[in-house]
Structure 1
C-alpha cells in the first residue's frame, strides 16, 4: 500500500512539474516577437514598408520595443527603428514627430554603411519639407537620398525619391524636371522587381508635364499607359490606391480637355475627380482609424497578455508551493528511508561478520577433515600394502607347503617302508593348513576394509560373474601378477591369463585395460 501511494505521489509530482513548464513554454511560444528575433523583425518591417508599402508589420515591432524598453547598440538597427517611427507619424500626418525621428535616424545612419536606410530617411525628410513648402531643404534631402540610393545595385529605394521629386517640381511648375525625374523613376523600376505600381504615377506626371508644355499627343499617350497599368493592377492593389490613381488620371484629363477647350469633358472629369477625392479622404480616414485601431488592439493584447502573465505567475506560484511541499515530503521520506537503509546495512554488516566467522570455522573444520582424509588415505594405502605383503607371504608360504606336500607324496610313492597312512594324514593336515578357501576368506575381509564398494560395483556391472572370476578381479585390483595369482589358486599362469581375457570380454572393455577399470571401483 505504501509503495502504491509513493508511486502515485511521484506521478502527481512529475505531472505538476510538466504542467508548470508547459505553461511557461506556451507563454513564450505565444509571443511572435521576442528579444531573440527582434532585430530580424525590425529588418523585415523596414523592407516591408519600403519595398511593398506595407505598414502593418511596423506597429507590433514598435509596440514591443516601447513596452519592453528595448535599447540597441547597433547604429544601423537604431536608424531603422527611427525610420519606422517616422513612417508611423507620416501615416498619421504627425509632421513634427516625423521630422524629429527622421533626423535622429539620419544621425545614426551616418555611423553605418547601410545606403538603403539612409535613402529612406532622407526621402522622408524631403516629404516633410515639401509639405512645409520648404523647397530648398526638400530638394537637398531628396538629393542626399538619390546620392545614397544610386550607390546600391538595386535601384528600388530611389523610386520613391524620384516620385517625390516629380511631385515637388510639379508643385513648382518646373515641368522639364518633372519629365526628367519621371523618366529616371521609370528606368529605376525597370531594373527592380518592386514598385511596379509606381509606373502609373510616373506616366501621370509625364502626362501632366506634357499638358502644361502643350504636347497633348504625348500627354494622351502617357495617360493611356497610366490607365492601362491601373486596369492591369486592378484586383492586385488596394482600393485606396486604385481610387488615388484614377483621381490623378481624371485631373490630368480635365486639364487636357480644358486646354483643348473641351469644357464639358473637362467638367465631367473634374466632377469624377472630386467624387474620387471624397472616397480618397474616406479611405485615408479609414486607414488612419485602422492604424489607431491596431495600436489599440495591441494595447488591449498587452493588457490581456499581462493578465495571462499574472495568471500564469499565480499558477507557477501555486505550483512552486506544491513543488516545495512535495519535495519536502520526498526529502523527509528519503531521510526516513536512508535511516532504515542504514540500520539494515548495519544488520547486514553484523550478519556478514558472523558469516565470515562461521566461514573461518568451517574452513578450519574443512582443513581438519582434509588432514584426516589424508590420514585415512595413508592408512588405506598402508592396509593395502599390508594386505599385499600378507598375500605374498601367504603365497610363498603356500608354495613352501606345496613343495613339502609334493616331496611327501614322492616319498609315499617311492618308499614302501614309510607308512602311507601316516603320510596321508600329514598330507591332509598340511592341505587343511593351506586351504585356498580359508585364504580367500581372510583376503576378502582385509580387501573389503580397504575397498568396501568393490564387489558391489563389480556385480552391478556384471551380475553373472562367478566366485572364481570375482577372486581374479580382486587379485588384479591389488596388483598381483598372473604368476602370483596362479600360485594362490593352484592354477597355471596360462589359465589365469585365459580367465582375465574372458572377464575383460564380458565387461566389453575396448579403450582401457582390466587393471584400469578395476582401479575405479
Structure 2
C-alpha cells in the first residue's frame, strides 16, 4: 500500500512537466516543436536568414527571397510565434504569385494550412489546403497531392469526421502509390492507424501501424519508426497485451537513444513506466517515469533558452529596424530641406531675371505693336477686297447649281411619269392575262366536267350486255381520258401563268428540283387558290387521289408537319 502511494506521488510529480506538454498538445503542436527543430540555433539561423533575405531583395531575386521567408516562417512556427510566422508566409505568397511559381505557392499554402490548424482556425486551414490541392492538381504533382490529402485527413480526424478523414487518407495513399513513394505511403498508413485507434478499432489500427513500420524499415527512416513503435506499444497496452506493448516501447527507447531524439526518449520512458505500472511493478514504473520527467524538464529548459534567445534576437532586430527607420526619416527630412532651400534660391534668381526680361520685352513689344497694327490694317483691307470677290464668285456658282438642279429635277419628273405609265400598262397587261388565265381555267373546268358526264354515261352504256356497242364506247372513254391530260392546253396555261407569276418556279427550285409535270400542274392550280373540287376536275382525278398527290408534294418540298401547303405556295 505504501509503495503504491509513493508511486502515485512521484507519478503526480512527473505529470508537472507533462501538464505543460498537454497545454501545448491542446494546440496539437508537432513533435519537432520541442526537440527536433530544423535549426539547432534558431536565433543565429534567423539572423543569417534575415541577411540573406535583404541580399535576395537587393539582387532582385524574388523567388529566393520567398524561399527565405518560408524558412523564417518555419522557425517562428516551430518556436510558437504563430502571428509572425503567418506574416512571413503571406509575404512569401505575394512574391510567389507575382512570379507564377505555382509549385512553391502550393507548398507555402500547405504550410499556412498547418499553421491555421494548430492555431484552431479550421476554416482558414481548410481554405489553405483547398488552394494547395487546386495548384498541385493543376501541376499534376502526385507527391503534393498526397501531402495535401494527408493534411486534410488529419483535419477531418481532429473534427471527428472519421468517414471524410478515411477517404482523404486513402486518396493520399493512392497518390503516393502512383509515384512509389514508400515514405509517404508509410506516413499515411500511420495516419490510418491513428484514425482506427480513435475509433477503438485496435485490430485495424495495429494492421496499419505494422504496414507503416515495414515501409519505414525498408526506406531506412528512423524518427518516424520510433513514433510507430510507440503507437504499437499503446495499442497493445489498450488491448491488454502488456508484455508485447512493453517490448515495442523498449525497442522505441533503444532506437530513440541511438538517434539522440530526446523527446522520443522521454516519451518511451513514460510508456515503459505505464506498462510496468499496469504489470504491478511499481518500482520499475517509478524509475522510468522519473527518467521521463527529468528528460522533459531538460527539454523544456533548453526550449525556454531557445525561446529567450529568439525573443532577444527579435527585439534586437526590431530595435535596429526602428533605428534604421529613424535615420532614414532624418535623412529624408534633411534631403527635403536641402532641396527646398535650393528651389527657393533658384526661384528668386529666376524671378529677378524674369522681371528684367519682362521690362525689355514690354518696350520691344510696344514698338512691334505699332508696326504690326499698320500691317494689320493694310492686310485687313486686302482681305476685305478678296472676300468680296470670293462672295461674288460663290453667288454666281450657286445660281448655276440652282439652274442645274432644276433641270435635273424636270428630267427626273419626266422619267418618273414614264415609269408610272409603264407600270400602269404592265398592270393592265397582268390584269388581262389574269382574266385570260381565269377564263382558260374555267373553260378547262367546264370541258372536263362535260367529259366527266360523257364518260359516266358511256360507262353505263358499256355495262350493257350489247356487245356490239362495248368496243366503240370503250374507245370513246379512252379518248376522253386522253383529252383530260392534253399537253397543248397545259402549255398554254403554263405560259399564261408564268407571265402573271414571274419567277415563281425559280423560287420553288431551292425546295425541290425533282418535280414531275403533274406535280407542277398541281402547284400551279394551288397557287391560283382554286378549290379542291375544281383542281380534281381539271386534273381528271378523284378527291382521294388529290389528297395523296398533295401529301407526296409536301414531302418533296420538305414541309414540316402542320405547315399549310397552300399558304407556303402563296408566300413564294
TM range (shorter): 0.3 to 0.5
TM-score normalized by structure 2?
Answer: 0.40
Larger Rg: 1
TM-score normalized by structure 1?
Answer: 0.43
